[in-house]
Amino acid sequence: MSQAVRQPELLAVEKDRPILRAQAIKRTFRMGQEVTVVLKHVDLTLRKGEFVAIEGRSGSGKSTLLHILGTLDEADSGTIEFNGQDLSRLTGGERSQIRNTQFGFVFQFYHLLPELNVTENTLLAPMIEYSWLGFRKRQHQLKERAKEILSELGLEHRLRHKVTVLSGGERQRVAIARALMNSPQILFADEPTGNLDAETGRQIMGVLEKLHREQGQTIVLVTHDRSLARQADRVLVLRDGKLEKPGESNNAESPATLNYR
Amino acid sequence: MYKLHLIIKYLRKRRIAWWSLLAVTLCTTMVLVVISVMGGWLTMFEHSFQGLTGDIVVECKDDSLVGFPYYQEMIDKMLARPGIEAAVPTIHTFGIINIGNIATAGVQVMGLPIDQIGKVNRFPDSLYLQHTSYIDRAKEAKDPAEKQKLLEEAQQHAEHPTFQLPLSPQRYREAMNWSPGKGTDPARRPGMIVGSAVVGIHRDPTGQTVGREPLMYEVPVKLTTIAIRPGESTVDLKDKSESVYWIADDSHTGLWQYDNAFVYVPFDQLQNDLLMTASSYTDAVTGRQVEEPARTSDIHVRVKPGFDLQAAKEQVQQVVNGVMNEHLRTGGRFWLSPQVETWREKQRVWIDAISNEKLLTVILFSIISVVAIFLVFCIFYMIVMEKTKDIGIIKSVGATSTGVAGIFLGYGLAIGLVGSLLGLLCSYLIVHYINELHAELGKLFGIQIWNPEVYLFDKIPNTMSWRDIGIIVPIAVVSSVLGALLPAIRAARMHPVESLRWE
């Protein structure tokens, strides 16, 4: 709640600050002799508090781009800076730490751990962050935060339930709760409604919108659904391995440049 | 924190891993039971043999039925040495017993000074009437005071064993229909202690001791032995001796080759029967009077507690050599010098054989246990494949590759710990109740796996050694971790994106 009160002031001060800057990102995949260039030359600047949607056809490389931005994958060339820090120079452990404390992920297929219940799945990031002793010291506070987030997402009656008994929409909300647990600077959402029916998908998008509007959460959404993409502040299209603004013709020679509203 | 949390969850929920738990449990159980039984067998063997001989034995191996002389002089000089606590002579020969004209058997005969033998070994503890029967009654006594009294009596008898006849003189006279004037009073015959199995006392397949009949004390036992004169190459049948005894007690040492073959008689009696007492005769050639010293077959020596055994052996060897050389020098007859051995050297062949058998069995079962490592590997490999998506999820939330490897190594460690502890419990129960289990097998199926004639003891060893546990349990734990190692490395190397996309 305090974060929501603070947010308008922050936006005013930090709106111009780039939080993530990707330059000349290239990614290819090799299958034996065959080489597929998925990302040819991608530039992207993300500002704090933005809600950016990356739209594209299936197989256009949207998820690949999202994974690279979120340090789940590495580009063949190019640079990514997060808060001024070059991520390509970091070790695997340092990138893992950034994913744990600064980023949150929401995937199309939820990707929850089936042996854990709703609360335990939500607490996964702090369980990774802290040692056994560190977690035990903060346990009460962390569980309270998890409970608060889950309640805000309408899951207060499901705290001890196994995730396997939840509906798709409920599971996606647990995934969102997990992603928010460590107060990430960027929330990466990869086709979050792709496995849900239309109504549930709208509900999930409503959750993301609310997070952005009320708490100023920076969100990068990847989707093939144009109508969903339009709910973001800014929409980019990934076509032929490059990012473009919607309606811009495909120009393989020039890199995409981006304006923000 | 997440590693421990996931390990506990996986341990409880992933039932396929319970098979690897079972493998570790069974292998730990198997190896511990084998080591305990084989090791216990060796320990029982060493303990029993040490209990039946002195710490050091002086024996004329090459002329054992003739024996050697000057033994009392040797004993007196040994006792003057700092490391020697006690020394007792015994005579050892072969004979035939006829038990009441009912049974006849070839036996090994030992003549021992029973009032002294307890100073050098634990033979008195093997006696039934004079020791073990009191212990048995004490176990069944409910009153603590009575229990204590019986234990004290057992101790007292063990300290002062005898060949005393257990029945009243009248009973023996009635058994032989004797009346005064009808020859030697049968009540004055000496007592004999028999090996328990010689008179048919044994454990049946159910583990019960059977065959100890009261009648055996009323049946005369005729012992036939033959004297071997020193320096003679033939046996003279005139030197045959037949003596009649009553059974005074039976000895159960637990060592089959003793209980099945030995009878024990008073030292003086046997020495007399075997013409091993001091004597003199006139040399037919020279006409001179020749003194023949008394002879014995062995001297059993007890070393003082804490004194080095090899040093004590050297002291004994010096005494023996000194006495023999002294008498040779002063014109005595040439005798083969007796050899001095520690009890372990004397039983070297048996001890080495059993040690080697133990080592071989342990090696074979350990090789079989390597199978457990492969089973853990296969199961963990399957689990890692199954958990590929979960690995991607955990990595996406920020777990490092090392952390992911740690989950599966920790899982392997948990399997190893739980499995080895369960194996320890199972092996303890099996070893502790092994004789009862063996008896049950005998009751149910009539089979006797542990044959005392083969394994020398009538009870299967049933104790575990902390040293063995301290070696086997950690090995089981390490083996389980080793089995999980390659799958853990595979899990660590998984690319998070590929893992998330795994179908």
- pLDDT band at residue B393 using 50, 70 and 90 as cut-offs: very high
Counting one residue from A and one from B, how many pairs have CB atoms under 8 Å apart?
A: 75
Q: Which residues on neighbouring strands pair with residue B241, listed in sequence order?
A: B225
Task: Report the distance separating Cα B11 and Cα B418, nearest Å.
Answer: 10
On whether residue B284 sits in a domain, the answer given is yes
Q: How far apart are CA B477 and CA B421, in angstroms?
A: 9
Residue B241: which region, alpha, beta or left (left: phi > 0; alpha: psi -120 to 50)?
A: beta
Q: Is residue B55 part of a domain?
A: no
**Percent of chain B's residues with pLDDT above 70:** 96
Which of A5-19, B12-26, B267-281 is least confident?
A5-19
Question: Tens of pLDDT along B423-470?
Answer: 999 999 999 888 888 878 777 877 777 766 666 666 777 788 888 899
Task: Count, in order, helices (H) and strands (E) of chain A.
Answer: 9, 10
For the record, the structure tokens of A15 come out as 């709106």
Q: What's the rounded Cα separation, in Å, for the pair A243 and A227?
A: 18
Per-residue burial over B82-108, b = 16 or more CB atoms within 10 Å of its CB, e = otherwise: ebbbbbbbbbbbebebbbeeeeeeebb
Instruction: Please choose, from the candidates A38, A39, A14, the residue with its C-alpha nearest in 3D space to the C-alpha of residue A255.
Output: A39
In angstroms, the CA B263 to CA B261 distance is: 7
Using the beta-carbon criterion (under 8 Å), do A105 and B395 form an inter-chain contact? no
Tell me if B343 is assigned to some domain: no
The residues with which A220 forms a beta bridge, in sequence order, are A52, A188
- Tens of pLDDT, residue by residue over B49-88, are 777 888 999 998 776 788 899 999 999 999 999 999 999 9
pLDDT for the residue B49: 75
**For residues B424 and B21, is the Cβ–Cβ distance under 8 A?**
no
Longest dimension (CA), chain B: 114
Looking at the partner chain, which of A98, A105, A120 has a beta carbon nearest the beta carbon of B396?
A105
Distance from C-alpha of B211 to C-alpha of A20, rounded to nearest angstrom: 94
The overall longest dimension of chain A from CA atoms, in Å, is: 56
Class of residue B222 by CB neighbours under 10 A (exposed 0-12, middle 13-18, buried 19+): middle
For residue B7, the chain A residues in CB contact (below 8 A) are none
Could you give the CA distance from residue B243 to residue B162 in angstroms, rounded to a whole number? 19
In this prediction the ipTM stands at 0.86
Q: Indicate the helix (H) or strand (E) that contains A62.
A: helix A62-69
Task: Say if residue B14 is in the same domain as residue B155.
Answer: no
Tell me which chain B residue has its CA closest to the CA of residue A111: B393
Are B84 and B78 in contact, with CB atoms under 8 Å apart? yes
Joined tokens for residue A214: 């009320």
Across the range B233-257, mean pLDDT stands at 86
* Nearest residue of B to residue A96, measured between CA atoms: B398
On whether the A49-71+92-244 domain is CATH 3.40.50.300, my answer is: yes
Q: Is there a contact between B397 and A101 if contact means CB atoms under 8 Å apart?
A: no
Specify the residue for token string 């003082």: B304
- Are residue B277 and residue B399 in the same domain, yes or no? no
Among the partner residues A120, A125, A131, nearest to B398 by beta-carbon distance: A125
CB-CB contact of A106 with A211 (8 Å):
no
pLDDT band at A10 (very low <50, low <70, confident <90, very high): very low
Q: Which residues of chain B neighbour A131 with C-beta distances below 8 Å?
A: 1
Question: How far are the Cα atoms of A74, B79, B174, B269 from residue B68, in angstroms, in the given order?
Answer: 93, 19, 42, 17
Cα distance from A96 to chain B (closest Cα, Å)?
4
A32 touches chain B (CB under 8 A): no
- Token pair belonging to B201: 């006392």
**What is the C-alpha to C-alpha distance for residues B211 and A211, in angstroms, rounded to an integer?**
91
Tokens of B431: 């070893």
Strand order in the sheet with A18-31: A34-47, A18-31, A77-82, A85-86
For residue range B318-363, what is the model confidence (pLDDT) as tens digits?
A: 999 999 888 887 766 667 788 999 988 888 888 888 888 888 888 8
- Distance (Å, rounded) from C-alpha B170 to C-alpha A188? 108
Say if residue B429 is in the same domain as residue B486: yes
Q: Does A101 contact B398 at a Cβ distance shorter than 8 Å?
A: yes
Residues of B with CB under 8 A from a CB of A: 1-2, 4-6, 9-10, 13, 389-390, 392-403, 495-497, 500
User: What is the distance between the alpha carbons of residues A20 and A185, in angstroms, rounded to a whole number?
Assistant: 10
**A134 contact B CB<8A:** yes
CB A224 within 8 A of CB A248: no
Contact check, Cβ <8 Å, A111/B393: yes
User: What chain B residue is nearest to A134 in terms of C-alpha separation?
Assistant: B1
Strand, coil or helix: B256: helix
Q: What is the pLDDT of residues A180-225, one digit of tens each?
A: 999 999 999 999 998 888 888 888 999 999 999 998 999 999 998 8
* Pair (B155, B303) in one structural domain: yes
pLDDT of residue B213: 86
Indicate the residue type of A12. A
Record the pTM.
0.70
Mutate to test the interface with A, among B10, B397, B494 (most CBs of A within 10 A): B397
pLDDT of residue B331: 66
B328 and B363 belong to one structural domain: no
Structural domain total, chain B? 2
Examine the domain organization and report whether B86 and B161 are in the same domain: yes
B261 domain residue, yes or no? yes
Residue ending a domain, choose from B337, B360, B384: B337
Residues from chain A contacting residue B4 (CB–CB below 8 Å): 132
Q: Using a CB-CB distance cutoff of 8 angstroms, which residues of chain B are in contact with residue A105?
A: 396-397
Mutate to test the interface with B, among A68, A106, A128 (most CBs of B within 10 A): A128
Do B165 and B138 sit in the same domain of this protein?
A: yes
pLDDT tens digit string along B203-221?
Answer: 776 667 888 888 889 899 9
B227 and B307 part of one domain? yes
Q: What is the share, in percent, of chain A residues with pLDDT greater than 90?
A: 60
Structural Rg of chain B based on CA atoms: 32
Measured distance CA(B411)–CA(A5) in Å, rounded: 46
Q: What are the structure tokens assigned to B192, written together?
A: 């004999």
- B179 plus B76 within the same structural domain: yes
DSSP codes joined into one string, A84-112:
TEEGGGS-HHHHHHHHHHTEEEE-TT---
> Where among B306, B337, B368 does a domain terminate?
B337
Residue B53 lies in a domain: no
Average pLDDT over residues A115-130: 94
pLDDT tens-digit series, residues A219-247: 999 998 888 888 898 999 998 888 887 76
- Kindly identify which residue of chain B lies nearest to residue A136, measuring between CA atoms: B1
Smallest CA–CA separation between A116 and chain B, in Å? 8
- Chain A: nearest CA to B396, how far in angstroms? 7
Q: How far is A261 from chain B (nearest CA, A)?
A: 31
Q: pLDDT digits over B306-318, tens only?
A: 999 999 999 999 9
Q: Are residues B331 and B357 in the same domain?
A: no
pLDDT for residue A255: 34
Q: Cβ(A55)–Cβ(A26) under 8 Å?
A: no
The β-bridge relationship of strands B240-251 and B191-195 is parallel
pLDDT at B205 (0 to 100): 65
Q: Which residues contact B270 (CB under 8 A, 6 or more apart)?
A: B91, B93, B109, B110, B111, B225, B276
**B209 shares a domain with B316:** yes
Q: What is the mean pLDDT of residues A85-90?
A: 89
* CB neighbourhood size of B133 (10 A): 17
Contacts with B501 from chain A: Cβ below 8 Å: none
Q: What is the DSSP string of B92-152?
A: EEEEEEEETTTEEEEEEEEEE-HHHHTTTSSGGGGBIIIIIHHHHHHHH--SHHHHHHHHH
* Final residue before a domain boundary, out of B285, B315, B337: B337
Residues 60-99 of A with CB under 8 A from B: 67, 70, 72-73, 92-93, 96-99
Element (H, E) at B355: helix B348-386
The answer to whether the CB atoms of B9 and A107 lie below 8 A apart is no
Q: What is the pLDDT of residue B230?
A: 77
Stretch B257-270: mean pLDDT: 92
Task: Provide the domain limits for residue B359.
Answer: 2-46+351-500
User: Does B56 fall in a domain?
Assistant: no
Residue A30 tokens read as 């090799």
Asked whether residue B163 is assigned to any structural domain, the reply reads: yes
The verdict on B26 and B71 lying in the same domain is no
In a domain, B157, yes or no: yes
